[in-house]
A and B are shown apart, each in its own frame.
Chain A
């Protein structure tokens, strides 16, 4: 069944917020798909990068629950190719920030198995806590 969505002024709020955080004028995207086809991570993503941008344009906050923004490696392939000059890695980073500012802990240090703690490099743990704890 097809999804039904509504488009209200609240949706615009979400778009504004992502635009403010990323510094990109997201409405400029004309959905050509260059970013998606060139993305080295697209095979792992649940939605394509251009789909991520489209969701933001329409203000669909469900985009915050997708994997794509976490998989963006900030390799800038899309950025150097975007015919409208948009920086998608900034948009992905903005989405990650919105998600993380909700102060939800995605990793609990107490629940990490001791073996993992021994084996994982410290830097990975620290950046993991930075990224995934509130």
Chain B
């Protein structure tokens, strides 16, 4: 015989304004095995939790049912409460009478009360059959894989390395630093981006706990929290960084010219090149795609001139296998491909450029070697590839308003004769110091016009561009000519993210960025244990938010690893070996590859790896003999719940 306590929560009116909580409590009190049934304003408050604790002691309760919000919301809180009274946290059941009752049925209070009774009755029926499951303590090491070496990955690596954890930082490009290396200055303080980034980049290779793997890609990940087996491919650079003195002799003789990615294709580079001026590792690399000397060995010009003998054509891709305990995803973003927005003519008109191009132009302009003329009349078009159903991206990219404000000011201040316009729909200056920065731009004479540009037309002779836009504040249609049009392109998920995310089975939000476990309370966790998100891989954000999130992700990883052991959920599948016939249907239904068939003699039995099992219940549903059962959701429990409901 169970001794059950039932608690009905008012949720400060969220529930009690619709549902008659006293009636629900009275109904529950009459159910068999229910020793006590009460209602309370806030069950999750200290008062509510104390009530449960006292009743467990006083009435010797061994099961607790709480009719309140979703277990997703406060389930963990009540589990801790029950646990602190010495019971298994898995004898606590929640009936969700808020999200699934009072909120949707607010206009049918009577029926909602009846439904609340049913839901509570079901939870009681399940609680009767709850077993005292115990969490298992599992050992865990102190090794972290960080995928992506942009500012998010760098920050997380430094935090973890400084805290004494072993970090493997994997970056697909030859240098770490990511998009931030390309920026001119950062808003709203106008710090030089390279100046604040390069010290952090330089700290990475000298940190004794960080193993930096650049020009490397994660090829496969298998395993689980505490035991992720990772296969990494390190591409050959054909240059020994220890010997390379960056003397530039090889670049002078290299005959292969290709567009320079770092300069957004505004300049060219050679096949042997330094990825960027502040590259870490600071060494030349040979891009095998454009090098003429590789297969067959036709050109050895760089090899011939290299005095320190740093060039070695006989390098091969290296496979590196590591085992880590946790993983931080920091694969970042790529900028929206503006050719998709054909009305603005990017890629077709030579004077239509992206904001990233403008960053490079400003950097070179400030160094006294401008890459091209900008003209005096410059227009910024906002929300290109953001907030636009026509290109399938409904989200706001969050940074474009401020970077356009920054770029326009930098241009205006370097030459006050310039006439600069920013065409926006809504100007979002939400961050610290942003509004003041926007005000400064207005004061500097940058003209902000509220209206989304409908189209850009090029004069084929003069190459000047006519914009058509409504000034939505005066309702006039503007048709004006500009020398240069800058598209404030939004942020899209990095194309490489998918590959790694699929290996780990991380879910994505509708905007294509990776999904956090809870938008409010677990913003850097994923639903996969031991996998965390840092930076724009989770959604568009600026540098301060990215850095904050990277530090948050590393501290969440430390929280798991620091004790050397962690609690593993006992909600896994179990197999009754006596009934299992080894048909392997469960093996094919398991989305986590957690089940294997063990053969001993002529007996075939399914075996569940409890570490890999996420407790989804697919195998239990698919099992034809009923051998596979899921802890906390056993078939008999579900049957009891159904009978209570019907």
Residue ranges of A at the interface with B (Cβ–Cβ < 8 Å): 30-38, 42-43, 47-48, 50-51, 80-85
Contact at B469–A33, with CB atoms within 8 Å? yes
29 contacts between A and B (CB under 8 A): A31-B425, A33-B450, A33-B451, A33-B452, A33-B469, A33-B470, A33-B471, A34-B453, A34-B454, A36-B472, A36-B475, A36-B477, A37-B455, A37-B468, A38-B455, A48-B475, A48-B477, A50-B470, A50-B472, A80-B390, A81-B343, A81-B390, A81-B454, A82-B390, A83-B387, A83-B389, A83-B452, A84-B389, A85-B389
Q: Does chain A have a CB within 8 A of B426?
A: yes
Chain B residues near A38: list those with CB within 8 A.
343, 454-455, 468
New A-B pairs, 18, CB < 8 Å, besides A35-B454, A48-B470 = A30-B425, A30-B426, A32-B425, A32-B472, A33-B471, A34-B453, A36-B454, A36-B472, A37-B452, A37-B455, A42-B477, A51-B475, A80-B390, A81-B390, A81-B454, A82-B390, A83-B388, A83-B452
Q: What CA separation (Å) do A84 and B386 show in the bound complex?
A: 11
**Which of A42, A80, A81: most chain B CB closer than 10 A?**
A81
**Count of A-B residue pairs with CB < 8 Å:** 67
Q: What CA separation (Å) do A32 and B477 show in the bound complex?
A: 12
Nearest-Cβ distance from residue B427 to partner chain A, whole angstroms: 12
Chain B residues near A35: list those with CB within 8 A.
454
**Which of A37, A38, A43: most chain B CB closer than 10 A?**
A37
Chain A residues near B389: list those with CB within 8 A.
82-85
Contact at A36–B470, with CB atoms within 8 Å? yes
Q: Does chain A have a CB within 8 A of B573?
A: no
Nearest-Cβ distance from residue A90 to partner chain B, whole angstroms: 16
Chain B residues near A31: list those with CB within 8 A.
425, 472
Chain A residues near B471: list those with CB within 8 A.
33
Interface residue range, chain B? 20 to 34
Nearest-Cβ distance from residue B506 to partner chain A, whole angstroms: 29
Nearest-Cβ distance from residue B425 to partner chain A, whole angstroms: 4
Nearest-Cβ distance from residue A33 to partner chain B, whole angstroms: 3
Majority secondary structure, B binding face: mixed
Residue of A nearest to B472 (CB): A33
Q: What CA separation (Å) do A36 and B383 show in the bound complex?
A: 17
Q: What CA separation (Å) do A19 and B19 show in the bound complex?
A: 34
Contact at B387–A37, with CB atoms within 8 Å? no
Nearest-Cβ distance from residue A105 to partner chain B, whole angstroms: 32
Nearest-Cβ distance from residue A53 to partner chain B, whole angstroms: 11
Q: What CA separation (Å) do A93 and B478 show in the bound complex?
A: 27
Residue of A nearest to B470 (CB): A33
Contact at A37–B470, with CB atoms within 8 Å? yes
Chain B residues near A34: list those with CB within 8 A.
452-454, 470
Nearest-Cβ distance from residue A30 to partner chain B, whole angstroms: 6
Q: What CA separation (Å) do A51 and B454 show in the bound complex?
A: 16
Q: What CA separation (Å) do A48 and B468 show in the bound complex?
A: 13
Q: What CA separation (Å) do A82 and B454 show in the bound complex?
A: 9
Indicate with 1 or 0, residue by residue over B120-145, a CB within 8 angstroms of chain A CB atoms. Answer: 00000000000000000000000000
Contact at A83–B390, with CB atoms within 8 Å? yes
Q: What CA separation (Å) do A42 and B468 show in the bound complex?
A: 12
Chain A residues near B383: list those with CB within 8 A.
32, 83
Contact at B452–A32, with CB atoms within 8 Å? yes
6 nearest A-B residue pairs (beta carbon)? A33-B470, A38-B454, A37-B454, A32-B452, A36-B470, A33-B451
Q: What CA separation (Å) do A31 and B472 show in the bound complex?
A: 7
Chain A residues near B343: list those with CB within 8 A.
38, 81
> CB within 8 Å of A: which of B219-267?
none
Q: What CA separation (Å) do A48 and B478 show in the bound complex?
A: 12
Nearest-Cβ distance from residue B397 to partner chain A, whole angstroms: 13
**Which of B426, B452, B475, B477: most chain A CB closer than 10 A?**
B452
